[in-house]
Amino acid sequence: MLTRAPKGTRDILPAEIGRWQHVERLFAETCRRFGYAEIRVPTFEHTELFQRGVGDTTDIVQKEMYTFPDKAGRSLSLRPEGTAGVVRSYIENGMASLPAPVKLFYMLTAFRYENVQKGRYREFHQFGVEAFGAAGPEVDAEIIGLLAAFFRSLGLRQTSLRINSIGCPDCRTAYHGILRDYLEPRLEGLCRDCRNRFDRNPLRILDCKEERCRLATAGAPALLDHLDPPCRDHFDRLRDALSSLDIAYTIDKGIVRGLDYYTRTVFEFVSDHVGTQGTICGGGRYDGLVEACGGAPTPGMGFGLGVERLLMHLDAQGVPLPVNPGPDLYLAPAGDGARPAAARLAQGLRERGVSVETDLCGRSLKAQMKYAGKIGARRTVVLGDDELASGRVRIRDMATGAEEEAGLDELAGSDVLAALLVAP
Ligand code: HAM
């Protein structure tokens, strides 16, 4: 128990951190280019925020939230996603007074008590963006374009974009009647949750993971076929905007998303390697959410991307990802007399930007060289009595075996440092 992480959580070990940092760097860089600024929000919020925001008829709120009372008896929940917290922060910090659109991105952990399987965890990582204050489909297309650019820069292939529209509350009210007519004769076949959802929020039934509910809803009328004219126009213009960006998509009338806040555009990027965890990323428009959480009516649009799933699909496609690089230099003191000088030199080089390792375990010179190989040091320098007396050292390239002589002063000087820093 003590030596086992809780089910559904996992460590990201130093051996894999290079991959994570690579995707984080690329995502942040892509967001910067598209004009998104980073926001960091708390790990937990008042439970009510998620009940109102994500929706209290969703699986996430009904079954998957980590909810607990704090010592003062407030009900708090670990965030099951990023949007609700960002919306709360947008309102609380008066971001409505900033020039619109307000474009934010985040990289965060989220928590859901789910059935654990490959690509489905209880603590997982999401990248996401949220844009506030732009109602037109241009921002929807720009956000999808951001994802396409991110995937391209990563080398991710074989993902399909699926889009749909679930309309506004007006078309949804009309559609709920049509859906109830369809579902009523099938009600007995639905799970207990869905029978409860029938009156409160029948759209949720279309998103139920239970096999019998999926079967019962397979032929249900689609909301996309019942949009009012403004929502239809919004969707048609989104399609035009995607086409002019040369972004391929398919229309999937079955996408309703598992969160209640969506209006109009919804979309998912799905890996072509079919499997239950194929959805790498999902998002859409939420024009009523800011108001529902206590702010002024403000349109919004964004997505959340599962980082574990992204890495899983990059691996499945054999896309090479960087591993942790070894140090630029291993500095080996030969004999105890050289240790203080080696430590001093290492400190100086590190302060100038070179990554340096030196001996901390009292190893022999031979063992140090073995160690330098194991940690992937790119170069080695031996520092012994001779080197200290002559003031000259030999820099050995570990890949080629080539050696280059340099003065000790020179080693700490800019030319040699520059060479170390730019070396492949
Ligand atoms: P979501 O579809 O619930 O949307 O989650 C987004 C992505 O997070 C999923 O496509 C999936 O890759 C990943 N994900 C979800 N649950 C898990 C899990 N248990 N384990 C691993 N990965 C998971 C949202 O969260 C919305 N906030 C997205 C959004 C932002 N819509 C508008 N703005």
pLDDT band at residue 413 under the 50/70/90 scheme: low
What's the pLDDT score for residue 153?
96
> Which of 132-136, 273-277, 284-288, 409-413 is predicted least confidently?
273-277
Q: Do the strands 75-78 and 44-46 form a parallel or antiparallel pair, or are they unpaired?
A: antiparallel
Q: Is 58 in the pocket of ligand 1 (CB under 6 A)?
A: no
pLDDT given for residue 277 in this prediction: 75
Give residue limits of the domains in the chain.
14-168+228-316, 329-421
Residue nearest to atom 6 of ligand 1 (CA): 304
Between 419 and 396, the more confident residue is 396
Confidence category of residue 45, pLDDT binned at 50, 70, 90: very high
Which pLDDT value is given to residue 139? 98
Residue 60 Cα: closest atom of ligand 1 = 3
What type of residue is 340? Answer: P
120 lines ligand 1 (CB under 6 A): yes
Residue 166 confidence (pLDDT) above 60: yes
| Among 38-42, 121-125, 299-303, 318-322, the least confident range | 318-322
| Ligand 1 and 282: CB distance under 6 A | yes
Tell me how far the alpha carbon of residue 177 lies from the centroid of ligand 1, in angstroms: 29
Lowest average pLDDT, out of 105-109, 268-272, 274-278, 376-380, goes to: 274-278
353 φ/ψ sector (left φ>0, alpha ψ -120 to 50, else beta): left
Identify the residue whose C-alpha is closest to ligand 1 atom 26: 304
**How much is the average pLDDT of 129-150?**
98
Nearest-CA residue for atom 11 of ligand 1: 306
Predicted confidence band at 424 (pLDDT cuts at 50, 70, 90)?
very low
Confidence of residue 55 (pLDDT cuts 50, 70, 90): very high
pLDDT at 386: 92
Top mutation candidate among 66, 87, 279 for ligand 1, by most atoms within 8 Å of CB: 279
| Two structure tokens written together for 172 | 């949804």
* pLDDT of 414 above 80: no
Q: Is the CB of 83 under 6 A from ligand 1?
A: yes
- In 3-state terms, what secondary structure has residue 184? helix
DSSP 114-181: ---BTTB-SEEEEEEEEEES--SHHHHHHHHHHHHHHHHHHT--SEEEEEEE---HHHHHHHHHHHHH
Is 85 touching ligand 1 by the criterion CB < 6 Å?
no
Looking at the chain, the whole-number percentage of residues with pLDDT higher than 90 is 77
* Confidence tier at 168 by pLDDT (50, 70, 90): very high
> Does the structure show a pLDDT above 80 at 416?
no
The pLDDT of 384-411, averaged and rounded, is 89
Query: Is the bond leading into 185 cis (omega within 30 degrees of zero)?
Result: no
Does the structure show a pLDDT above 70 at 422? Answer: no
pLDDT of residue 37: 98
Supply the pLDDT for residue 348.
87
Over residues 28-44, mean pLDDT: 98
Q: Considering the entire predicted model, what is its pTM?
A: 0.93
Q: What is the pLDDT of residues 311-340, one digit of tens each?
A: 999 999 999 998 888 999 999 999 888 999
The answer for residues whose C-beta is within 8 angstroms of residue 225's C-beta and 6 or more apart is: 253
Q: Give the highest mean pLDDT range of 101-105, 342-346, 384-388.
A: 101-105
Assess whether the C-beta atom of 162 lies below 6 angstroms from ligand 1: no
Q: Is 112 in the pocket of ligand 1 (CB under 6 A)?
A: yes
- DSSP label at 222? P
Confidence of residue 418 (pLDDT cuts 50, 70, 90): low
pLDDT at 274: 56
274/285 Cα distance (integer angstroms): 26
Q: How far, in Å, from the CA of 268 to the mean position of ligand 1?
A: 10
Most trustworthy range by pLDDT among 266-275, 377-386, 404-413: 377-386
Ligand 1 atom with the smallest distance to the CA of 130 is 33
pLDDT in tens, 347-397: 988 988 889 999 999 999 999 999 999 999 999 999 999 998 888 999 999
CB 112 within 8 A of CB 65: yes
pLDDT averaged over every residue in the chain: 93
Q: State the residue for tokens 């209640």.
A: 260
- Percent of the chain exceeding pLDDT 70 equals 96
**CATH class held by domain 329-421:** alpha beta
CA atoms within 13 A on the CB side of 56: 7
The domain 14-168+228-316: what is its CATH number? 3.30.930.10
Determine the distance separating the centroid of ligand 1 and the alpha carbon of 135, expressed in angstroms.
Answer: 22
